[in-house]
Structure 1
């Protein structure tokens, strides 16, 4: 097999790539969404939610009260747990988790109801944009100034590194949205294919230039 044959083989992997992208999104959305009912996960997203102009109003206490009541993963401080109960931390997290799982289930409908999967892809992309806004609204997204010279922008903290990965989620959401929309159009028009998948990749590449 020569180098050209290898590239031709790679070029035919686009359908597999879309399928794996959709499967990856479903796994992440359902798994992470389900974990939102766990108190440690709810505690972890408090800085993002509390500082967000889109979601901060769901909490009872104002910023920056949460800084005195954060529970490190694996640690239980009953007084902090009580504070989060009063703050509606766990109620909000459970609701958010249900929404995220719902998005994942919409993507699962691609083989049977691609129009619903199209909506799911769009909602995932919107969710990614909101999540990326945390880089602007959440101070904890950047390394704190505690004596080292590497702090603030562009030095992402652990939370910031988690958030910036949603740039991938954004692209994946748009890709599966477009793929499901094509499947819906093919189903409606009664033809096997009208718009090559390659056009989606070219459009995304052009938008990123």
Structure 2
């Protein structure tokens, strides 16, 4: 292969990866800003209360802070993730932290599939049929986890390349 062709292919390939990384990063930033900001409203606090109450990982938040306080704590974490993802666009080590925080968020919310009553739709035969308001709401987190994991992999590759 000709060296110029190889360099041009590598440059295009890097540009595509960078575009995909930017698309994932900024999409996740918007999601975390929006969802995090909503956590400070009574509407959202009441909406997420059943998920938190039934979670072995998060139920303590309601005991410690009440429904609104628990929602606010989660909001602070989500807004912190948005900020970390944003700063990560400019600093590869921070990118690794932001992507890990994003992965952790969606890994935890996916546990709600097994801990929250009403995920399975009994009139459709039960699991794997999922209910519209609860199960389908949670299902989007599978894609968000995949996006977060992809961003984490890219951030890890950048950190390793920086060490070389």
TM > 0.5 fold call: yes
CA contact (8 A) 2:88 2:98 kept: no
Q: Name the counterpart of 2:52.
A: 49
> What is the alpha-carbon distance in structure 1 between the residues aligned to residue 159 and residue 143 of structure 2?
24
Per-residue CA deviations over 1:119-152 (Å, capped at 9, x if unaligned) read 1111211211111110000012222x4xxx4152
Q: Name the counterpart of 1:58.
A: 61
Of the two, which has the highest radius of gyration?
1
Q: What is the Cα deviation at residue 92 of structure 1?
A: 0.8
CA contact (8 A) 2:62 2:69 kept: no
Q: Name the counterpart of 1:205.
A: none
Q: What is the Cα deviation at residue 46 of structure 1?
A: 0.8
Q: Name the counterpart of 1:166.
A: 141
Counterparts in 2 of 1:17-56, with a 5 A limit?
17-56=20-59
**Higher relative helix content:** 2
Q: Name the counterpart of 2:71.
A: 93
Please, which runs of 5 or more residues in structure 1 have no aligned partner? Answer: 1-7, 61-86, 190-209
Query: Normalising by structure 1, what TM-score?
Result: 0.66
SS in 1 for 2:40: coil
CA contact (8 A) 1:47 1:140 kept: no
Counterparts in 2 of 1:185-196, with a 5 A limit?
185-189=160-164
Q: Name the counterpart of 1:126.
A: 104
CA contact (8 A) 1:30 1:101 kept: yes
RMSD after superposition:
2.2
Please, which runs of 5 or more residues in structure 2 have no aligned partner? Answer: 1-8
> What is the alpha-carbon distance in structure 2 between the residues aligned to residue 89 and residue 128 of structure 1?
20
Query: Normalising by structure 2, what TM-score?
Result: 0.82
Residue 156 (str. 1) matches residue 130 (str. 2): yes
Query: Between Structure 1 and Structure 2, how many residues are aligned?
Result: 151
Q: What is the Cα deviation at residue 17 of structure 1?
A: 2.0
CA contact (8 A) 2:29 2:86 kept: yes
